[in-house]
Amino acid sequence: MSQQLAVGIDIGGTNTVFGIVDRRGNILCDGKMSTKAHEEVTTYLSELHGHLSKLIDQVGGPANIKGIGVGAPNGNYYSGNIEYAPNLRWKGIIPLASMLQGLFNIPTHLTNDANAAAVGEMTYGAARGMKDFIMITLGTGVGSGIVANGQLIYGHDGFAGELGHVIVIPGGRLHPGTGAKGSLESYASATGVTNTAIEFLHNRPETESLLRNYPENEISSKVIFEAAQKGDPLAREVYAYTGKVLGEALANFVMFSSPEAIILFGGLTKAGDLIMKPVREHMEKNLLPIFQNKVKLLFSELKESDAAILGASALAWEMKD
């Protein structure tokens, strides 16, 4: 019965969550700590080591742990490094996987959070049994993980699958973080939806909208969603437009890797049909006939609060013994 558990660690800019998971995706125990309180990665790792050692003892010690999986911003699967992550305080290249492996003496793999989400979905969620699918995370940003031939695509350098940064409208909206114009993330993220609403409010002064009751800096994806649910036409058009841009992007992705399914995860999916109807419509419209009416559009089957730990933990099952 040894080696039947995996540790999952998800490093976010603000907090880190971690837990111990069995092969069926049950989280046996978990915890949380601040990432951003630590100016140095060394003190961060000391605290994490303390928390996790206790959890590992609770489940019977390191002999029961097959591996540690880590999801981290700009995480490179091949090197196990975090490389120049803009939203972490630790600058440059951090050899995080080998540092953790040194502390725990347990095999450790690391990748970015969207890739971890894809492996999690393949192991425990909506993509079980699939060999070809694309995971898209629609949150503050837009992330992605691509699986083909049953394997995650890491590319030659470990950084494949940055579909949020694909240009969907050449010369379009400026992305303040990257300087790119017209990238998917500028439209299909929480910030993108907010910016679309603000643009619509400016450009259509004659259109009444519940959103006009808010000062501009209080307009958020949450406020837009609530207005849309109440039937506000401008808010609904924001989703229609976002869905069009996302659907066109998905069509291009399908013609790249011809996945069995595209699995969507994150805040934007809560808008349900408001966004999914235009997504499907514009995806199908932009596909070559041989690809039409074949690709499943699915939502993640992992509980949002568990997904980060599960995704990271799933990396451990992929390790060769």
Instruction: Kindly state whether residue 271 participates in binding a copy of itself, applying the rule CB under 8 A.
Output: no
Contact in structure between 258 and 149 (CB atoms under 8 Å): no
93 near a copy of itself (CB under 8 A)? no
Query: Are 296 and 260 contacting, i.e. CB atoms less than 8 angstroms apart?
Result: yes
Exactly one of 93, 237, 291, 297 binds a copy of itself (CB under 8 A); that residue is 291
In Å, how far from its chain's centre is CA 144?
Answer: 6
The per-type count for the chain, helices as H runs and strands as E runs, is 9, 12
Query: Kindly report the CA angle at 126 between 125 and 129, in degrees rounded to 5?
Result: 90
3-state secondary structure of 134: strand
Least separation in angstroms between CB 125 and a copy of itself: 17
Residue 254: closest CA among 222, 281, 201, 292: 292
CB of 117 to a copy of itself, least distance (A): 17
Site for a copy of itself in 2-31 (CB under 8 A): none
User: In terms of CB distance, is 133 or 225 closer to a copy of itself?
Assistant: 133
Does residue 87 interact with a copy of itself by CB under 8 A? no
90 contacts 80 by C-beta, under 8 angstroms: no
For a copy of itself, what does the binding mask look like between residues 47 and 86, x meaning CB under 8 A? ---------------------------x--------xx--
* Window 173-212: contact mask with a copy of itself (x via CB under 8 A): -----x-x--------------------------------
Region of 105 please: left (phi>0), alpha (psi -120 to 50) or beta. Answer: left
C-alpha neighbours within 13 Å on the C-beta side of residue 97 = 25
Q: Determine if 128 is a binding residue for a copy of itself (CB under 8 A).
A: no
The residue from 251, 298, 310, 315 that contacts a copy of itself (CB under 8 A) is 251
**Distance of alpha carbon 193 from the chain centroid:** 17
> Near a copy of itself by CB under 8 A, which window of 25-33, 62-70, 159-167, 305-313?
159-167
Residue 36, Cβ density class (10 Å: 0-12 exposed, 13-18 middle, ≥19 buried): middle
Taking CA atoms, 76 is separated from 175, 189, 220, 268, in Å, by 23, 23, 32, 27
Residue 26 CB, shortest distance to a copy of itself, in Å, is 29
140/258 with CB nearer a copy of itself: 258
Residue span binding a copy of itself (CB under 8 A) among the ranges 199-207, 228-236, 289-297, 309-317: 289-297
Which residues would be at the binding site for a copy of itself (CB under 8 A)? 74, 83-84, 130-132, 146, 148-149, 151, 153-163, 165-170, 178, 180, 248, 251-253, 255-260, 286, 288-291, 294
